[in-house]
Structure 1
Amino acid sequence: MDGADGQAKTTYKRVLLKISGEALMGDQGYGLHPPTVQRIAKEVKSVHDMGVEICMVIGGGNIFRGLQGSAQGMERTTADYMGMLATVMNALAMQSALEELDIHTRVISAIPMDQVCEPYIRRRAVRHLEKKRVCIFAAGTGNPYFTTDTAATLRANEMSCEAIFMGKQVDGVYDKDPKKHDDAVRYGQITYDEVLQQHLGVMDASAIALARDNNLPIIVFSLDEPGGFRGILAGEGTYTRVHG
């Protein structure tokens, strides 16, 4: 929906965008694909231009995935810390792309590394958002055994976000994998408990439970659709809303 000046309007004031590390690798099988990072940065800018305060959490699976490392015999805690460091690399790449678009950003890490980014201090992060800076939260929760999905839900609650926007490769939550099944049905809305009971893989179970306990809606949409993030904030496009 557009206002009289043609500028899209939205009821959201502050949101968290969660994307996987794999979203940054484009068609490559590994690492960062700069044109894809730039495309996602433009999506974030289009929402920032609507006056929405944005924070982000980016996974690290394009560089290193802790669970995969531990499955190959690496000690789980070490593997998870390596995964956290991968998220910092992705956050710095996204910061660079956003700042090329004149969007002020802060990378905020749960693991202190002062020469690279800020340590996580909640009140400081809130102040950055109030000043319309995009905050990219890195290094998960700072603890092993927790996924970036859980980190995203935790940070969204701490920042008083109105919703988590999950940028996926599909345009919502389906009853089965739409890439493998032509008869897969997309849900318009679904409850947290239904997601858990049906093992629908929106987020891991602890992240869904944390969102449910704090009544934090999760909007699942396709990040591959140009203009999709902005469109959904303006009430257009296809997506699934996970709520109580």
Structure 2
Amino acid sequence: MMNKSSFTSLHKAVIAVFALSAASGLAQAADLDQVLYATPVEQDVYKPVEIGSGWYLRGDIAYVPSDNVKARLKGYNLLGEGRGDTKATAAYSGGVGYQFTDNIRGDVTVGYRKMTVSREPVEAGIWDVMANAYYDIGNFSGVTPYVGAGLGMAKVDYKVHGPVGEYINGRDTTRLQWALMAGAAIDVTENVKLDFGYRYARISSGDAGNIGPLTITDNSLESHQIRAGLRMTTW
């Protein structure tokens, strides 16, 4: 039989084993708790992409100085050309564009101007739709110089007033137009720019009117335009 001394020793050993087991269990629980409640691994944060942030609206007004217009009777070159000076006028346009990169942008514009021939009862309303591309050279202290070119169509509607209108019929024609531009944009705010520039535009030749069976044709229409406008970045 187990004496009192042996029983005491066994009792102490059992207590020691339980103590070690309890300590081991607590340590494992603490480790598990750290795993369960550890701070999540920081994930990569992606900023949302601003879809369409390069879109902009534009509006322009231009001063168009007087220019020379040449006309002739179609098929009768021996009669020479008639010449007339146009009156200075204003041109208006508006459109929407997109900034593709820091240097390249493009827009589509619709414009209107009136052409009146000095000392003649002849005038024309000119509507145009243009697709334009620009190269922004760089931003220098808030000023961005640029160059550009455009291609589109122009609708030229001639009208003749007064007594001669009884036998001269004006023509309405749609023609090719191209343009070259240069200028500079000035930052007003982050989203607003003032645009000052020059545009040379040329419309291909076309019929201007009829005198009986004869057709009067203009020898293309060109204009030099000094422009001022506003560009506003939108959505």
Q: TM-score range by the shorter chain?
A: under 0.3
TM-score of the two chains, using structure 1 as the length reference: 0.21
Higher relative contact order (CA 8 A, sep 6+): 1
Considering fraction of residues, name the structure with more strand. 2
Highest CA radius of gyration, 1 or 2? Answer: 2
User: Per residue, is there more helix in 1 or in 2?
Assistant: 1
